[in-house]
Amino acid sequence: MLTNRTKSLAERAKGKTEMSTAVKARSILQETFPLHAGRNVTTALSEAYDALKRLERGLSRKTLEERGKRWSERRVKALWKGEARRIDYHEITDLEAVRAIQAKAEYRRLIADLRRVQAFVPADYQAEVGRSEAV
- CB-CB neighbours of 28 under 10 Å: 19
pLDDT at 1: 47
pTM: 0.74
Diameter of the chain by CA atoms?
68
Q: Residue 116: which domain range?
A: 4-134
For the segment 43-80, what is each residue's pLDDT rounded down to a tens digit? 999 999 999 999 999 999 999 999 989 999 999 999 99
Domains held by the chain: number: 1
Banded model confidence at residue 26, pLDDT cuts 50, 70, 90: very high
pLDDT at 126: 67
For the segment 78-130, what is each residue's pLDDT rounded down to a tens digit? 999 999 999 999 999 999 999 999 999 999 999 999 999 888 887 777 667 66
Three-class DSSP category at 36: strand
